[in-house]
Amino acid sequence: MAQFKSILVALLLLSIGTYGQPRTYTFQELDSAELEEARPILLFIHTDWCQYCQGMKYSTFQDKKVIAMLNENYYLVNFNPETEQPVYFNKKTYVFRQTGIGVGLSDLAAEISAITQNTSYPSIIIFDEKYQLIAYQNSFLTSKEMITFLINKR
Amino acid sequence: MLPDKRIFLFILTLLTANVFAQNAKLMGKITADNQGVEGVRVVIKTLSKKAISDSNGRYTLTGIPLGQYKIQISSLGFFKLERTIKITSSGTDTLNIDLSNQKNNQIEVVVSGTLKEVNRLESPVPVEVYNSTFFKKNLTANLFEGLANINGVRPQLNCAICNTGDIHINGLEGPYTMVLIDGMPIVSSLSTVYGLSGIPNSLIERIEVVKGPASSLYGSEAVGGLINVITKKPQNAPLFNAEVFMTTWNEVNADVSFKIKAKKIDLLTGINHFNYSTVIDNNNDNFTDVTLQKRISIFEKANFKRKDNKLFTLAGRYVFEDRWGGDINWTKEFRGGDSIYGESIYTNRWELLGSYQLPIKEKVFFSFSYNKHNQDSRYGNTSYIAQQNIGFGQLTWDKKLKAHDFLIGAALRQTFYDDNTPTTASADTLIPSNMAQNIWLPGVFAQDEITLSKKQKLLLGFRYDYNSVHGNIYTPRLAYKLSVNDRNIIRLNTGTGYRVVNLFTEDHSALTGARAVIINDDIRPEKSINVNLNYIHKKFYKNGTYISFDATAFYTHFYNRIIGDFLSDPNKISYNNLNGYAVSQGISANVDFSFNNGLKIVTGATAQDVTYTDNGVKNYQFFTEKFTATWLASYTVKELKLTIDYTGNLYSPMKLPLISELDPRSDKSPWWSIQNIQFTYTGFKKVEVFGGVKNLLNWTPFKKNGLLLPRTNDPFDKNVKYDANGQVIVDANNPYGFTFDTSYVYASNQGIRGFLGIRININ
């Protein structure tokens, strides 16, 4: 099965490429993942111009303990709300709303910020298995703070 | 992830119970093609036990009672297989799984879509991003002054008495910089002077600064750089925000912003008022130290919600400004007269800009801007009354085809300009008639951003404009990016510039009544070529500390440049085409530190060499420093909810114009530095209180040069005697052979001052 081989090679490459990083899921994968195993969802909202977001990517999200906690208990989704593609989340499609040329925001981020009353990046949002927002944090979290957050907000 | 206490206790109970039962341990390695596979889940559903393979492919399941179980081995979205295992004795069992040899598996492949993340900072053009917090570190009455905190960007004062300025990027003047609001260009050479006022900080999400040529996309003038003001999204903007601060110089700045969200439209409104109307003359030269100003500006942005979710946005701004400086006894009655000297400028400006995405499948945008600028000014008894209207429309088509990202467009610009100077007068002086300028500038452009590989991007651009006066203008551009990884990026950027200089609207020193303006020949457009090389390196530490470093080398060669000659005659500024070339070159570097304890340090320095070679003689450009540095240190004491911000600038000497050979003033400015400290208390719920001291060192040019403005006692030169050749006669009354002159200016005369303010934010 050549097809299977190629998938395995891809998988292998994927696992090598993601070494030291938590397993991330796309929005499309969430529904089937939840069916297979119900877990809370951790949404990491970042933008490409947010330095602290990049900082978290290279420190907190590379911490072994954080990776283990996320890989075993959460579905981690990296979400850049300034990406033009619509996102599908909790049986709803959220569009990207443009506010100028090359700028805009996903309606999902707008809906989240209406609940959290905060608009800064990075945002770490936890949804339960039924897609209910149960916890959020709107600042840089060190690996220690992240672990505390994950323990306390479960 | 630790479960809560009850679950924990429950597990503990189970564990204790299991001590007495016979339990086994299952270990193994998951491999494919002899390599361990990470992240594979090994689950025994009936026991609710699971493990995930580590980076070597190893997994361990413990506490398995004896029996027969079905084990699921899966990697979500990739494959799933099942094995049956019988555990007959306690101890350690091994189950290795070689995925490469599996034949009869159910393979479940989920295609995760082609979610290509569009990372704009991945573009071959270097973009520096400053969020609104950065501008709060050294609070200023407008964004124009706030930009002084950015390395390589300098608001320059062009006029000692009227304090008009423009933004210089890497040594290039304001008209070379394009200002955009949410990606929509404000096409106006005055946009760095006025395009940045009136948008309250509370409505600004971030400012993107591009240093280097952007002319193929934004017009042949945009060779210096871009300043893109990104406003907050209607969803993210505060419902209401007000900010007021006052200084010990009685300057008052008030900003109010609010949003309205309706079914079909979202509105953002910002109102700014600045008032400084106290005459202060600390240096006792009988002239105001700082220009008195009243300014009101209103900014409005509307986002229309269309059914097809396509873009339609409109923004408008109105600015009215009344500023004056001069003799401390000046009042409005003396405006334009020759008894008491004053420079008084009324500016009325409005602009409208917007973008509409066509309701078709392809991504096509129509962008437009219109601005009407009216300036009514008196410099002593010289008047300058001008009207500039610029209309601009542009159609762009954004098309992605595999590795290519095309942007194709057509633009049309119309500039109307009329004033009371000889520029717009007919050549026939016997029967003079007004000859207002009316220039049409149609153009087409194409750009292709090619993703050569994961690490390399190439951008090719070309623009063709037809100027109704000057003819064909070709503007090519090239940009290349090599990312070694996302923490090490090299960019090369090159392009050409072409600009028709309008002395009167852009060069305020041409207007300061003291000197007559002489235009010797037909001023030709300025032509230039620019190259920028940029390197970015970022380092992240595990503890959250972060360091970023970036360095840029820039070089601009002007084939023609229009530079005012201050030296040949103290009573004149003459403008000529350059018989030679001009060069603006230098290196700038920034280092940012963000420590995990909350301390943030941002530093930057620029060394530049701005010269012009005329008739074989190399000269340094006036009012241009060779070295500048900026810094910011910010620390938040979490327990006290107090943020301390210390900011500063350092400038090296600049060449200054003297009037006569006897002029006792220095022909160079000294090294000088402005430093500020600010405290912000965030302990109240919706209210922030801030205050501090500006210009801590109390540095003013007066301190170094006791004499800044010559002959303030005789600003109309009524008592200046001239000889037969028109040269000033030196006598006891005029020992240095001076005439009144305001061109000797390089910094503000505003000394140390305290400030206090309050900010209210309702979300």
Alpha helices by DSSP H, listed for B39-155, are: 132-136, 143-146
Is A5 a domain residue? no
Q: Averaged over B28-50, what is the pLDDT?
A: 80
What is the C-alpha separation between B561 and B581, in angstroms, rounded?
7
* Residue A7 belongs to some domain of the structure: no
d(CA A47, CA A25): 17
Show the DSSP H helices in B596-723 as ranges: 701-704
What is the distance in angstroms between the Cα of B518 and the nearest Cα belonging to chain A?
A: 43
Q: Which residue has the higher pLDDT, A70 or B17?
A: A70
Question: For position A140, which CATH number holds?
Answer: 3.40.30.10
Q: Which of B131, B134, B168, B199 is closest to B647 using CA atoms? A: B134
- Tell me how far the alpha carbon of residue B702 is from its chain's centroid: 31
Using a CB-CB cut-off of 8 Å, the residues of chain A touching B308 are none
Q: Tell me how far apart the alpha carbons of residues A108 and A127 are, in angstroms, rounded to a whole number.
A: 13
Chain A contact present for B447, CB below 8 A: no
Note the pLDDT of residue B104.
36
Say which residue the tokens 């799933």 belong to: B80
Do B227 and B177 contact (CB within 8 A), yes or no? yes
Closest-approach residue (CA) in chain A for B35: A12
Distance of alpha carbon B458 from alpha carbon A9, whole angstroms: 30
Token pair, residue B404, equals 């290519």
The answer to whether the CB of B41 falls within 8 A of the CB of B49 is: no
| Rounded Cα–Cα distance for residues B734 and B725 (Å) | 18
- φ/ψ region of B630 (left if φ > 0, alpha if ψ in -120 to 50, else beta) reads beta
Best of B43, B233, B601 to disrupt the A interface (most A CBs within 10 Å) is B233
Contact list in B for residue A104 (CB cut-off 8 A) is 233, 311
pLDDT at B450 over 80: yes
Q: Does the pLDDT at position B231 exceed 80?
A: yes
Say whether residue A117 is in contact with chain B using an 8 A CB cutoff: yes
**Is residue A118 over pLDDT 80?**
no
Q: What DSSP string describes B32-45?
A: ETTEE-TT-EEEEG
Is B162 buried (19+), middle (13-18) or exposed (0-12) by CB count in 10 A?
buried
Spatial distance between the Cα atoms of B38 and A16, rounded to a whole number of angstroms: 8
B740 DSSP assignment: -
CB contact under 8 A, B548 and A51: yes
Q: Would you tell me which residues 41-100 of chain A have a C-beta closer than 8 angstroms to some C-beta of chain B?
A: 48-49, 51-52, 54-60, 62-63, 69-74, 80, 83-85, 95-100
Give the three-state DSSP class for B198.
coil
Q: CB B763 to CB A71 under 8 A?
A: no
pLDDT digits (tens, 9 = 90+) for B519-573: 766 778 888 899 999 999 988 888 878 898 999 999 999 988 887 777 777 677 7
Subunit contact A99:B129, Cβ cutoff 8 A: no
**Mean pLDDT of the residues in chain B:** 83
In 10 A of CB A18, how many CB atoms?
15
**Alpha-carbon distance B215 to B224, whole Å?**
9
The percentage of residues in chain B with a pLDDT greater than 70, rounded to a whole number, is 87
Q: Which of residues 67-126 of B touch A (CB under 8 A)?
A: 74-79, 99-100, 102-103, 105, 107, 109-110, 112-113, 115, 117-122
B107 pLDDT exceeds 50? no
User: Residue B194 carries which DSSP code?
Assistant: H
From the CA of B153, how many Å to the nearest CA of chain A?
A: 20
pLDDT at B117: 39
**Is the predicted pLDDT of residue B508 greater than 80, yes or no?**
no
Q: Which domain holds residue A43?
A: 23-152
Q: What is the pLDDT of residue B109?
A: 32
- The answer to whether position A10 is within a domain reads no
Chain B residue closest in CA terms to A55: B540
The predicted pLDDT at position B328 comes to: 93
Evaluate whether residue A130 is within a structural domain.
yes
CA distance B585 to chain A (A): 28
Is A31 within the bounds of a domain?
yes
Cβ contact, residue pair A104, B541, below 8 Å: no
With respect to residue A9, please indicate whether it lies within any of the assigned structural domains.
no
Task: Report d(CA A49, CA A29) in Å as an integer.
Answer: 26
Contacts (Cβ under 8 Å, ≥6 apart) of B513:
B343, B379, B380, B381, B382
pLDDT, tens only, B236-257: 788 999 999 999 999 999 999 9
Q: How far apart are CA B288 and CA B277, in angstroms?
A: 11
Coil vs helix vs strand at A85: coil
A11/B543 CB distance under 8 A: no
Residues of chain A in contact with residue B547, where contact means CB-CB under 8 angstroms, are none
Quick one: pLDDT band at residue B356, thresholds 50, 70, 90? very high
Q: Do B236 and A4 touch (CB under 8 A)?
A: no
The whole-number average pLDDT for the span B649-666 is 88
**CA-to-CA separations, B240 to B258, B313, B736, in angstroms, rounded:** 4, 21, 58
At B192 the pLDDT is 65
| B544:A140 CB<8 A | yes
- Put simply, the answer to whether B763 touches A28 (Cβ < 8 Å) is no
CB A104 to CB B233 under 8 A?
A: yes
Q: Is A35 on the interface with B (CB under 8 A)?
A: no
**B643, B680 in Cβ contact below 8 A?**
yes
Query: Which residue matches tokens 């000659």?
Result: B565
Per-residue pLDDT at B8: 60
Gap from A73 CA to chain B (nearest CA, Å)? 6
Q: How many domains does chain A have?
A: 1
B186-197 residue pLDDT tens: 877 676 667 677
A142 belongs to a structural domain:
yes
Interface of B with A in 682-741 (CB under 8 A): none
Res B108 pLDDT > 50: no
Q: How far apart are CA B737 and CA B730, in angstroms?
A: 5
Whole-structure pTM value: 0.80
Mean pLDDT for B218-242 is: 84
Taking the CA of residue B536 as centre, how many other CA atoms within 13 Å lie in the half-sphere pointing to its CB? 19
Residue A12 resides in a domain: no
> Is residue B318 scored above 90 in pLDDT?
yes
